[in-house]
Chains A and B, each alone.
Chain A
């Protein structure tokens, strides 16, 4: 009898531990691109593997590609991400989740070997490969303006595990009075208008950590029933021509299922390069 109890304990205890404390895979912040004679291969291992892949592509080729999450909701797209120690101290608390993505690999032709629309073709290949995996979300490419694309979430898994189409938040037509505001106030007005129109809370995250690229910049932007994306692009393009900032801002619109809210963050676009001495550097892209 004791042996039998011990047997069930051996089976049961590890299972319960696994359920409460999922093993933390080793994630990479940014994907890695390798170059072979047959083309490039991108490897990403991240809860949001496609975003990690897009960041790697941006930094490898100096492209400007924005990224937007779909609003993940089901257990097919989310997993528990609660730290084991915190869980042990708070056994009955809700804990936190994360997007359940992991490894993603894609091979693509080198852009230099493609004659037309190389950027769009490579991005289409990446997104197509991604959508064929079991990773969370389904995505599409949007050409926002010349030389600028967005990878947008267009579907998530529903409660039964089937793909469920979702509205793309930044395609929402919004209205805001055209008046003079600081650039930050303009961005806040845009996310507030999206929240008011859709009922989905959108927070404005940090824009530039080591310095403020908007630095008291004033803009006059507004319109009636204009896609939020259009207004956002207007802010970004004008911000890139200020006295204090000549770079290119890219956005990440990420959904936090625990807060049921999006956060919009703007970062400087960069490219990996080498300086005159051969030292590897991260160079900021500047508007041409």
Chain B
């Protein structure tokens, strides 16, 4: 729920009607360089919205103009459930950098949808508003976790994937059992292991799985879900480490997926975002290894780097094998590290 826009085009303002310019007859060009960020966070049924406006203006002053008396400031609008809120920065010089942030919150009722509009404006004391960037949307009332903790539970050789289990929580210690979480692509990822004929995505997204909350792999566990099983299989890992050098790949190479997690609202088909995680898969060669991490910028975890190699089977085909599979789960930052 983050949107950022930057005005890169020039805004021509002829200040002939401005109070300070009227007596002098000057023209001045203001080029705005502002952006608006907005974000939504949830904790149980509480919805937190934030809007921030920041940036500056370039001023190309024409002959005879006197901008010394002008001041600028910015404002951030956060209109939640049709109730308008504004926060303004202090006044400053026309080329100064400004920032203003407005934070609001509301207790959401499951089933109700709340309109939300945001706006950022830049105001000149002479000509008034000269830049405006805004948008709108809607926020469903929904019980959602404030926190998701990821724990690595080890490498699973049968599918060659690192498995993670997650625990959801909020301040009110709500239960989320019975709802479903699903993954969507927050934004296209990146892949430094990629070359044009690899056959793997240059900008990887998520698979699109969903999981019931209240059990992990079929075993009941309150407010937990899983496994999220992540990683390349051995065929693709081998392709990367064997073909990478000849295609100019530098090792270790890293795949990053931006995984947005959403939770089902009130048993309906509506889902709402509660977190965006970065999944990273780091592939190295000589020795070959794959390390999978989930949500390291949050309360996340990594698996132990898993080694792999190639052998030749009875049929003459090369088959991949795992060097060792001692990884039965650990917690990054724990005494085991």
Docked-complex contact A247 and B207, CB < 8 angstroms? yes
Q: Contact size class for A?
A: 35 or more
Docked-complex contact A277 and B183, CB < 8 angstroms? no
Which B78-106 residues have C-beta < 8 A from chain A? none
Residue in chain A with minimal CB distance to B138: A276
Give the contact stretch, choosing among B230-238, B296-304, B326-334.
B230-238
In Å, the complex CA distance between A86 and B195 comes to 15
Docked-complex contact A263 and B206, CB < 8 angstroms? no
Docked-complex contact A284 and B184, CB < 8 angstroms? yes
Docked-complex contact B137 and A276, CB < 8 angstroms? yes
Q: Which chain B positions have C-beta within 8 A of A48?
A: 197
What does the 1/0 interface line of A254-288 toward B look like (CB < 8 Å)? Answer: 10101000010101101000011111011110000
Residue in chain B with minimal CB distance to A214: B159
User: Which listed residue (B159, B203, B317) contacts A29, Cβ 8 A?
Assistant: B203
Asked if A12 CB lies within 8 Å of chain B CBs, one says no
Asked if B71 CB lies within 8 Å of chain A CBs, one says no
Asked if B239 CB lies within 8 Å of chain A CBs, one says yes
User: Which listed residue (B200, B209, B233) contacts A213, Cβ 8 A?
Assistant: B209
Residue in chain A with minimal CB distance to B136: A277
- Nearest-Cβ distance from residue B181 to partner chain A, whole angstroms: 11
Q: Which chain B positions have C-beta within 8 A of A256?
A: 197, 199, 239
What does the 1/0 interface line of B253-273 toward A look like (CB < 8 Å)? Answer: 001010100000000000000
Which B203-235 residues have C-beta < 8 A from chain A? 203-212, 217, 227-233, 235
- Nearest-Cβ distance from residue A256 to partner chain B, whole angstroms: 8
Known contacts A86-B245, A212-B209; A206/B236 CB under 8 A: yes
Q: Which chain A positions have C-beta within 8 A of B195?
A: 81
Q: B interface, by DSSP: helix, strand, loop or mixed? A: mixed
Docked-complex contact B230 and A206, CB < 8 angstroms? no
Docked-complex contact A245 and B196, CB < 8 angstroms? no
User: Which listed residue (A46, A276, A282) contacts B196, Cβ 8 A?
Assistant: A46
In Å, the complex CA distance between A95 and B248 comes to 11
- Nearest-Cβ distance from residue A31 to partner chain B, whole angstroms: 13
Known contacts A27-B196, A82-B246; A206/B233 CB under 8 A: yes
Q: Contact size class for B?
A: 35 or more
- Nearest-Cβ distance from residue A276 to partner chain B, whole angstroms: 5
In Å, the complex CA distance between A178 and B21 comes to 87
Known contacts A279-B3, A282-B185; A211/B230 CB under 8 A: yes
Known contacts A86-B246, A98-B196, A210-B183; A278/B135 CB under 8 A: yes
In Å, the complex CA distance between A267 and B236 comes to 14
User: Which listed residue (A84, A86, A205) contacts B199, Cβ 8 A?
Assistant: A205
Residue in chain A with minimal CB distance to B232: A206
In Å, the complex CA distance between A210 and B246 comes to 27
Q: Which chain A positions have C-beta within 8 A of B157?
A: none
In Å, the complex CA distance between A279 and B317 comes to 47
Q: Which chain A positions have C-beta within 8 A of B137?
A: 275-278
Docked-complex contact A209 and B204, CB < 8 angstroms? yes
- Nearest-Cβ distance from residue B74 to partner chain A, whole angstroms: 21
In Å, the complex CA distance between A85 and B230 comes to 33
Q: Which chain B positions have C-beta within 8 A of A85?
A: 248
What does the 1/0 interface line of B107-145 toward A look like (CB < 8 Å)? Answer: 000000000000000000000000000011110000000
Docked-complex contact B185 and A212, CB < 8 angstroms? no
Asked if A243 CB lies within 8 Å of chain B CBs, one says yes
In Å, the complex CA distance between A83 and B231 comes to 26
* Given pairs A184-B159, A210-B259, A282-B188, 13 additional interface contacts (CB within 8 A): A47-B196, A47-B197, A83-B247, A86-B245, A209-B230, A210-B207, A212-B207, A213-B209, A245-B210, A263-B236, A263-B239, A278-B137, A283-B184
Q: Which 7 A-B pairs have the closest CB atoms?
A: A83-B248, A277-B137, A208-B207, A284-B208, A211-B209, A29-B202, A212-B229
Where the two chains meet, the residues of A that have a C-beta atom closer than 8 Å to any C-beta of B are 27, 29, 46-48, 81-86, 95-96, 98-99, 184, 201, 203-213, 215-216, 243-247, 252, 254, 256, 258, 263, 265, 267-268, 270, 275-279, 281-284
